[in-house]
């Protein structure tokens, strides 16, 4: 097929390149643009993207494509591609064209699996929200996370944070999270987690080298601070393994919410960049389970729901908090998709 006639596949990579450039990654934007031009060299990959049955943006197909190339570069399977990622040259078309030609099957296999961006910088927003909850209820929390990936954010109480003018979390932690903080200064309070459990259809194991490499491949190659932060979080997770279950969240979450809740503990359901990957039925089941549990909440056994997700029209990312027994919902912050900055509303 003549590459000038390809609209679906090339158009998606081109569209996402503009989004990624606006989010601050010139290198990944250039990777996607070269991939757009060279995609005719990988007919299986092109067919996968062209024939994707759902919204390719919601499925993050461009990020899967970029991660597959990053994985190849990290493995050293294509010397010219590795040299490109090491900034030894800037011939994107030559290196990416060669990778597409020789590793079409690998890229397709990589893209069939969902994205794995267990971004620990998002924990800054959750930490600020937990401090607000501590002020509201004056009790420790029990965490239930859906779409946990490797479970790195279940360890959020073990991280150190600088959030505007305050320092929070564990000051001695090897994982330091220092986002650009805009807006109001969050309230300072202890972050006390008495239990933390998570679920994922395909949880990754920090003890497993292949899992660690998969997570690292999804980090943008021109953002070394993110890479080093992720490596530190993975090392910490190997020392303090998160409690993860391989299951469907629509089945796991109602069971967890049905478990007796201790007096004086606030139960918190949280998730980040998960809702977009759920079908309408699954999304409704998760929300219904949370609301049903909220109706059972009391001042002695409160429930909170923290959500860091795109708005329905994908105009912005919002961190929202809903608390029961009153059932009030607030937008705590708008933020960068990967937690690089937070505009805190309080």
For 121-176, write each residue's pLDDT tens digit.
999 999 999 999 999 999 999 999 999 999 999 999 999 999 999 999 999 999 99
Task: Say which range, 3-12, 28-37, 298-307, has the weakest mean pLDDT.
Answer: 3-12
pTM of the entire structure?
0.87
In the chain, DSSP assigns E strands to 141-146, 160-163, 166-169, 176-177, 180-183, 193-200, 243-246, 266-272, 303-310, 317-324, 328-335, 341-344
Q: Which residues contact 88 (CB under 8 A, 6 or more apart)?
A: none
Contact 198, 243 (CB under 8 A): yes
Q: Are 138 and 131 in contact (CB under 8 A)?
A: no
Q: Sign of torsion, CA 236 338 219 52?
A: positive
pLDDT of residue 7: 39
The per-residue pLDDT for range 96-128, each reduced to its tens digit, is 999 999 999 999 999 988 787 889 999 999 999
Pseudo-torsion of CA 123, 124, 125, 131, nearest 10°? 100
- pLDDT above 60 for 6: no
Q: How far apart are CA 167 and CA 127, in angstroms?
A: 11
Name every residue whose Cβ is closer than 8 Å to that of residue 229 and which is 6 or more positions away in sequence.
120, 121, 175, 176, 177
Residues forming a β-bridge with 177: 161
- Residue 5 is predicted with a pLDDT of 34
pLDDT at 128: 97
Q: 312, 310, 318: which is closest to 342 by C-alpha? A: 318
- Residue 293 pLDDT greater than 90, yes or no: yes
pLDDT at 278: 85
Query: 157 near 192, Cβ under 8 Å?
Result: yes
318 pLDDT exceeds 80?
yes
Which residues share a beta bridge with 195? Answer: 142
- pLDDT recorded at residue 2: 36
């Amino acid at each position: 097929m003549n590459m000038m006639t390809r609209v679906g596949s090339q158009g998606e990579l081109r569209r996402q390149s503009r989004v990624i450039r606006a989010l601050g990654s010139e290198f990944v934007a250039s990777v996607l643009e070269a991939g757009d031009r060279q995609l005719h060299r990988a007919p299986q990959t092109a067919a996968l993207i062209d024939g994707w049955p759902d919204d390719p943006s919601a499925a993050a197909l461009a990020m899967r494509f970029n991660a597959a190339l990053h994985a190849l570069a990290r493995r050293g399977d294509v010397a010219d591609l590795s040299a490109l990622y090491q900034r030894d040259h800037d011939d994107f078309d030559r290196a990416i064209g060669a990778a597409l030609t020789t590793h079409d099957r690998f890229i397709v296999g990589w893209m069939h699996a969902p994205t794995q961006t267990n971004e620990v910088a998002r924990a800054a927003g959750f930490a600020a929200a937990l401090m607000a909850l501590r002020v509201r209820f004056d009790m420790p929390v029990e965490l239930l996370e859906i779409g946990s990936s490797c479970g790195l954010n279940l360890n959020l109480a073990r991280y150190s944070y600088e959030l505007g003018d305050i320092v929070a979390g564990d000051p001695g932690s090897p994982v330091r999270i220092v986002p650009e903080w805009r807006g109001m200064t969050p309230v300072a309070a202890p972050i006390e987690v008495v239990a933390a459990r998570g679920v994922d259809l395909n949880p990754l194991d920090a003890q497993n080298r292949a899992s660690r490499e998969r997570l690292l491949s999804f980090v943008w190659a021109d953002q070394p601070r993110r890479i080093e932060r992720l490596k530190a979080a993975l090392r910490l997770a190997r020392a303090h393994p998160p409690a993860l279950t391989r299951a469907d969240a629509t089945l796991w979450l109602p069971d967890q919410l049905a478990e007796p809740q201790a007096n004086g503990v606030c139960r918190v359901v949280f998730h980040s960049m998960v809702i977009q990957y759920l079908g309408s039925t699954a999304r409704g089941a998760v929300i219904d389970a949370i609301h049903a549990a909220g109706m059972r909440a009391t001042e002695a056994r409160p429930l909170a729901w923290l959500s860091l997700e795109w708005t329905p029209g994908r105009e912005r990312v919002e961190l929202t908090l809903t608390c029961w027994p009153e059932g009030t919902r607030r937008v705590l912050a708008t933020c960068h998709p990967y937690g690089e900055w937070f505009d805190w509303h309080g």
